[in-house]
Amino acid sequence: MAQQANHALPNGYRLEEYTIERQLSLGGFSIVYVARDAANVEVAIKEYLPNSLALRGEGQTHPVVAPEHLGAFRYGMKCFFEEGRALAKLSHPNVIRVLNFFRSNDTVYMVMEYEHGRTLQEFIVKHKGHISERFIRGVFTRLLNGLREVHSCKLLHLDLKPSNIYLRTDNTPVLIDFGAARQTLMNEQPILKPMYTPGFASPEHYGPRRDLGPWSDIYSVGATMYACLAGSAPQAADGRMEKDELTPAMVRWEGQYSDHLLEIIDWCLSLNHLYRPQSVLALQKTLVTAVADNVPVVKKEVPTTWINRLVDKLRNQ
């Protein structure tokens, strides 16, 4: 089915106790608005509206869903609602705060705190090739605090990438725009196309859902760190599985960053999930270790077979 362009709700529209001020973003799965609540506090509202299933024309408020797509649409709406319920239980300074979620206009809305700042993607574009190791360590150590909290609640982010990491004005990172509902949809309803981002999605994103785990988000963390150094996404995992042409961080930035940091990035980007850090805590402990400690990160944590392959790859460069 061809992709459609859905129209956003108009500025000034009253949605329950909220008044929409403007559209913030429009994607293939949802529309995000900036709105104000009854106390005149700014909030962000995400509207479930997958453009492969539903169409809302200009001036309309309710989406039109073809009968053959109704089952998939309702299932996705249920997943989105459950995702909002799960995220509302989270309260962590490095995870976006979900304030409310409700049904209206034959769809579902998720109300979140509106953060001021910019995305890590915007920061990467502005500082391309000139992001310090200190900045990377500071941002990702705190980001992993939030990801640990997410995983402790038996949730996965599944769409971790620079544009889904928000930097407050003091550069404190915040995880936003979870992809859990979309991942469920991808596996249960083939009509909904995968919503992951090539380059940041793990190899498991392309396979059976049962292979997904904390290590999948950890791959995305590694890919995001790689992008901080490269200024762009690394080679997509499906392409790497066919022909791995990704230059290891240890080779590409040798001498520009510490071996300690570069080893960590390559560790996270292992194609086999068993060779990656198996938990956020394991990764975080390694990341915060002082470079001066000279901890043999890869040798300590990763099977020898992975090291051999990396050494062979380095020799063949």
Q: What is the tens place of the pLDDT at every residue in 76-117?
A: 888 888 878 888 888 999 999 999 999 999 999 999 999 989
Q: What's the pTM?
A: 0.83
- Amino acid sitting at position 260: H
List the helix and strand counts (H, then E) for the chain.
11, 11
Q: Is pLDDT of 20 > 90?
A: yes
For the segment(s) 117-315, the CATH number from 1.10.510.10, 3.40.50.1240, 1.10.1200.10, 3.30.420.40 is 1.10.510.10
Superfamily of domain 14-113: Phosphorylase Kinase; domain 1 (3.30.200.20)
Would you place residue 298 in the very low, low, confident or very high pLDDT band (cuts 50, 70, 90)? Answer: very low
Specify whether the CB–CB gap between 59 and 38 falls below 8 A: no
pLDDT score of 226: 98
pLDDT score at 292 = 44
Phi and psi at 56, nearest 5°, equal: -125, 120
Q: Does the pLDDT value for residue 306 go beyond 70?
A: no
pLDDT at 207 > cutoff 50: yes
Q: What percent of the chain lies above the pLDDT cut of 90?
A: 64
Q: What is the DSSP string of 14-37?
A: EETTEEEEEEEEE-SSEEEEEEE-
Closest CA to 117 of 145, 139, 87, 149: 139
Dihedral sign, Cα of residue 242, residue 245, residue 249, residue 254: positive
Strand ranges (E), 105-246: 107-113, 117-119, 165-168, 173-175
- List Cβ neighbours of 228 (8 Å cut-off, separation of 6 or more): 120, 124, 131, 136, 162
Residue spans of the domains in the chain: they are 14-113, 117-315
Average pLDDT over residues 135-164: 92
